[in-house]
Chain A
Amino acid sequence: MPEAVITASLLTKKYKDFAAVDGISFEVAPGESFGLLGPNGAGKSTTMRMVGAVSTRTSGDLSILGLDPNEHGPEIRAQLGVVPQADNLDQELRVRDNLIVYGRYFGIPRRQVAKRADELLEFAQLSDRAKSRVDDLSGGMKRRLTIARALVNDPRILLLDEPTTGLDPQARHILWDRLFRLKEQGTTLVLTTHYMDEAEQLCDRLVVVDKGTIMAEGSPAALIKQYSTREVVEVRFGSEKNANVAKQLKGIGDRVEVLPDRILIYSDNGEAELSEIIRRGLNPITSLVRRSSLEDVFLRLTGRSLIE
């Protein structure tokens, strides 16, 4: 296995007494697409800031591209592309100038960065908006511009903090397509997300993070296999009745999870379990048989949903 581009061991960040990141360890291999999945406040962004060499760790070890970010911040940042959670595009500059000026921050010569900006505008499907004001772009376009900007220095690692949060489904799919192309080209991606579908689409491997610690690690498929069943039956009996009905579901499925609005039944054969429920005369208002997802893994690990 080639040498890891990111190695974190017992990485910790404390703000006074509160540990935002509490001793997490992971490695990211070159070309890998690595995800941090967890709810808001799990410590994902703090981890990303430490990996991005803009936040110093309280304890533990961290090595980015073989360098310690405490000592070599600028050298590390020169080789990273960062897509922050909230867009921080330069509102006073036009779209293309945003890329050029950002490239200049890396010390890239003007002529070179101008050429690069045009290539990236094309990649981000924004060539026709080159002279627009940033404010006039849609949310999805701003996000794509931010990603294009993060690529201006041809980074060895691209860090994406919640890349599609707040975007509509169509804009998310366009963005995923762009990120998938980067992944195909061998760019190392590190992303945080609280969307399981995003993690499933983009990540080769991920860690499930909650309250500053890692709960599980593996590929999306392996995690689902390890922590969940193949299928899930979702049934709703009405918010008043769910808890009562749950008692009558004994013997159905491998495991039953009662949520305030619905009941989840874990099983390798969802249709058979659903037939059994109906045979017992428990008439659900709605029912759905689906494949297990990372959401179920998270629920199993923490007893809570990802998006609350």
Chain B
Amino acid sequence: MTATVPTSPALVTAQSRSRFLGAIYAGNSRAILGRGLLATRTSNYWVVLSGFFEPVLYLLSLGIGLGSLIGTVTTSTGQQVPYAAYIAPALLAVSAMNGAIYDSTWNVFFKMNYGKLYEGMLATSIGPFDVALGEIAFALLRGLLYAVGFMIVMQVFGLNLAWTAILALPAVVLIAFGFASLGMAITSYMKTFQQMDWINFVMLPMFIFSATFYPITVYPPIMQYIIEALPLWHGVELIRGLTTGALSWGLLWHVLYFAVMITIGLIFTTKRLRALFLA
């Protein structure tokens, strides 16, 4: 064997970047995303699939089962739709959320605190914004994967009521991006398992109460305001508008909500990674 390390000239070329972004962004988040995909292929291939079934089971039990007793429901835009077609878009939003949250919270928590993965990444020319963007993009992909699967289930059961349902796919990306971004930002501040449990504590009621299974008009106004402030409600309303074909300019508010959520998440994740590993 050869015992020497052959040196090749200039493996790494210095990139010229703006001074401000230079310290936090190397334009190489695809290396982080690539790492995520390779790791999934190597070690946790099957874990990925398990998260997909939860919303499907809800759809089958509540949508088909309970739906046969309920009949139709009036949406927030005044449309009468079958119960299954009412909850399906909500469950689509939930599957996007679940996929995005899974990777951006627990997985990030382990990488950060036990695997020391980010410490290793940030010892290279990668910047904290690359890490944030790459990890969030990876989490988002799982959300998208679940959502596409769920869309197919919806199509099979005839729950996509309008051609605009196809627009639910980019909407799902947006929703998953929002949840992944905020999820990672919050996780980056967490230090113990107990704190991580708070995330579950928030997720469950949000899942049940965000106009998922019935219109929020059943609540007193104060409750309605609280729910309307939470991200899942915006996701549910956005997707429901698209799959039932009730388009309106109002849907853009939901888009804006997620755009803000993404931005805040990215800023805080980047800040936190920098403070933790480059201070």
Contact = CB atoms under 8 A, between A and B. Distances in A.
Interface of A: 52, 54-56, 71-75, 77-80, 82, 84, 86, 88-94, 97, 101-108, 112, 116, 119-120, 122-123, 125, 127, 151, 153-154, 181-182, 185
Interface in B106-140: 115-117, 119-127
Interface in B26-74: 26, 28, 31-32, 34-35, 38-39, 42-44
B contact face: mostly helix, strand, loop, or mixed:
loop
Interface in B80-123: 115-117, 119-123
Contacts of B278: 54-56, 73
Contacts of B125: 74-75, 77-78, 105-107, 153
Given A56-B279, A120-B5, A86 B11 contact: no
B3 A106 contact: no
B42 A97 contact: yes
Contact of B12 (A54, A78, A94, A122): A78
Interface of B: 1-8, 11-15, 22-23, 26, 28, 31-32, 34-35, 38-39, 42-44, 115-117, 119-127, 277-279
B120 A106 contact: no
A97 B37 CA distance: 12
A165 to B, nearest CB: 16
Nearest to A90: B117
Contacts of B39: 90, 92-93
Nearest to A75: B14
Contacts of B8: 112, 116, 154
B26 A88 contact: no
19 contacts: A73-B278, A74-B125, A75-B22, A75-B125, A82-B123, A88-B115, A88-B120, A97-B38, A105-B121, A105-B124, A108-B11, A112-B11, A119-B6, A123-B2, A123-B4, A127-B1, A153-B124, A154-B7, A154-B12
Contacts of A72: 22
